[in-house]
Amino acid sequence: MAWLPGVSPRKASLLVNGLLHNPMAIREESGLPTLAHLNLLAAAFESVNGEHDADDLAAFIMETAYLAEELSPAEVLRDINEDRAVSGFPEVRALDQIEAELTERKRYYRIAIKDALDRLSPMTLVNVMTETVDVATSGGDDHAPALIDDLVDSYEVETQGILQKEAENVHKLITTVRDWASSGETVVKPYVDKLDLIARNWDKIAQPIQLSAKARGIVHEPSRELAYEIRGLAIDLFKKHGMLAHSQRLTGLIQELFAEVPEIADRAEEDADALADIFQQRRTAAAHKDEWAREITYRAEIGVMFKNTLSISPEGVSWKGQNFSLDSITRVRWGGVSHSVNGIPTGTTYTVAFGDQRSEAVVELKKQDIYSTFIDKLWRAVCVRLLTEMLEALKNGRDLHFGDALLHDDGITLVKRKFLGSNEKVRCLWGQVHVWSADGSFCIGAKDDKKVNVGVSYIHGANTHVLEQAIRMGFKKPGLRRLSELVQ
């Protein structure tokens, strides 16, 4: 079995002599019995040294492995018995004896290849194994010859120690990154860089094992565990510390290093898509924020002799030394009063006021263009938020006072004024009221009783314009029963 069954003595002598002078030439032989050819190839592996080309060695291993798949116990039995008949020996009749010997032969071929690999430098060995398994499995999609699977199993046992050590280094770095994450992205970056490097070193060694496991339909558990550890860090950096860039980098690393682990590859792709969406949303939000900042920024000099500056920007609203951040403003009001003498118009005075819970700034203007422009900026910067907060308050069950009116989510309480006796409060649903403007006030009245109404001053009532906007928006929504439906 270890010689050249099925080969004539003269041919055998030539082959052995050729093996001594040019071992690799045996790969070019054809027409040899499979077992004899494999025995010669196994001998040729003894000539492999550290200078052997990695790609050629990978091809040599695959040639041997595929040839070993062609071994037929019946054909071997036939060749052996033909040789024994010529030599005068009795035939071997038990096929199971041949099968047992062939199993031992295949083990010998694996040892011959492994011994050749052991004579290579560590990185060359890894490269040869990776190339061999990658091509033999079509990137992990096809089953490899059994001899290559056996080689991978042996390789996995021998690399277990270094893989475990490198995995421990990754775990330590993950812990370090978590410990320093609160200090900011700049502090964390060097540790993420090092984690990236060590993980790549780990994966370079594990790559043949991952490809083989994928081809065999099994999971390389160390790869799975390490990938989930890195994924957990990526999630924490984003959710707990807002580090989108580092999270995307680690997710990309998982996609690259663990593409051969189907479960991890699918999960990493989902994570990458989600992070890409968030990144795009942030870019869009940043663009909108910049656009919004440009839209609300305004500055005007007011006064003839002594000028004061009225300004609004993302930093806040300012007038005569009073400064309010946009988020601190809880009330706004504005309006104009026309003046005349003996029926002749003498101009209009415009008032704008804004403030927080403690104080209020009041601006008196005479230029309509400044007034109109500032109100437009104020609405975008502050009133949209006030409108949303008002609707959320109603949704949460709060009632809000506006002058004599009490605003509810499902309607409003108005006043029925009586000539004699006390006025009466009347609660109306939204379908029972209508609105209009008159005498500088926003008016709300019952449809079926003209005596039931309330007027809230635009110029003196806080947030009257916001109230009007909410109600008019509600009336435009068919079937609206509650104002809070506008924020759903």
Is the pLDDT reported for residue 24 higher than 70?
yes
pLDDT, average across residues 297-318: 91
Which helix (H) or strand (E) segment is 406 a member of? strand 405-407
The reported pLDDT for the residue numbered 259 is: 85
pLDDT, average across residues 324-328: 95
The reported pLDDT for the residue numbered 311 is: 96
The reported pLDDT for the residue numbered 91 is: 84
Band of residue 282 on the pLDDT scale cut at 50, 70, 90: low
pLDDT in tens, 221-263: 999 999 989 989 988 888 888 888 888 899 889 988 888 887 7
Contact 127, 60 (CB under 8 A): no
Answer left, alpha or beta for residue 316, where phi above 0 means left and psi between -120 and 50 means alpha. left
pLDDT, average across residues 93-104: 88
Is the pLDDT reported for residue 267 higher than 80?
no
Please tell me the distance from the alpha carbon of residue 437 to that of residue 446, in angstroms, as a whole number: 15
The reported pLDDT for the residue numbered 430 is: 95
pLDDT in tens, 385-410: 999 999 999 999 999 999 999 999 99
pLDDT, average across residues 355-375: 94
Band of residue 363 on the pLDDT scale cut at 50, 70, 90: very high
The reported pLDDT for the residue numbered 260 is: 84
What percent of the chain shows pLDDT beyond 70? 97
pLDDT in tens, 189-212: 999 999 999 999 999 999 999 999
Is the pLDDT reported for residue 328 higher than 80?
yes
Contact 251, 231 (CB under 8 A): yes
Of the two residues 235 and 170, the one the predictor is more confident about is 170
**What's CA 439's distance to the chain center, in Å?**
57
- The one-character DSSP state at 137 is T
Using CB atoms within 10 A of its CB, is residue 97 exposed (0-12), middle (13-18) or buried (19+)?
Answer: middle
pLDDT, average across residues 280-304: 81
pLDDT, average across residues 456-470: 96
What percent of the chain shows pLDDT beyond 90? 67
Is the pLDDT reported for residue 286 higher than 80?
no
Tokens of 245: 């860039």
SS3 labels along 408-477:
CCCEEEEEECCCCCCCEEEEEEHHHEEEEEECCEEEEEECCEEEEEEEEECCCCCCHHHHHHHHHHHHCC
Contact 368, 347 (CB under 8 A): no
pLDDT, average across residues 103-120: 93
**Rg of the chain on CA atoms, in Å:** 42
Please tell me the distance from the alpha carbon of residue 98 to that of residue 78, in angstroms, as a whole number: 10
Is the pLDDT reported for residue 148 higher than 70?
yes
Tokens of 50: 């550290």
Alpha-helical runs (H) found in 217-313: 221-239, 244-257, 262-296
pLDDT, average across residues 273-292: 73
Band of residue 431 on the pLDDT scale cut at 50, 70, 90: very high
Which helix (H) or strand (E) segment is 3 a member of? none
Tokens of 255: 């996609």
Is the pLDDT reported for residue 488 higher than 90?
no
The reported pLDDT for the residue numbered 45 is: 92
The reported pLDDT for the residue numbered 279 is: 66
The reported pLDDT for the residue numbered 144 is: 95
The reported pLDDT for the residue numbered 349 is: 94
Tokens of 250: 């680690």
Q: C-alpha dihedral over 149, 151, 152, 158, to 10 degrees?
A: 150
The reported pLDDT for the residue numbered 164 is: 95
Which helix (H) or strand (E) segment is 302 a member of? strand 298-302
Q: What is the mean pLDDT of the chain?
A: 91
What is the DSSP annotation of 73-91?
HHHHHHHHHHHHHHHTPPP
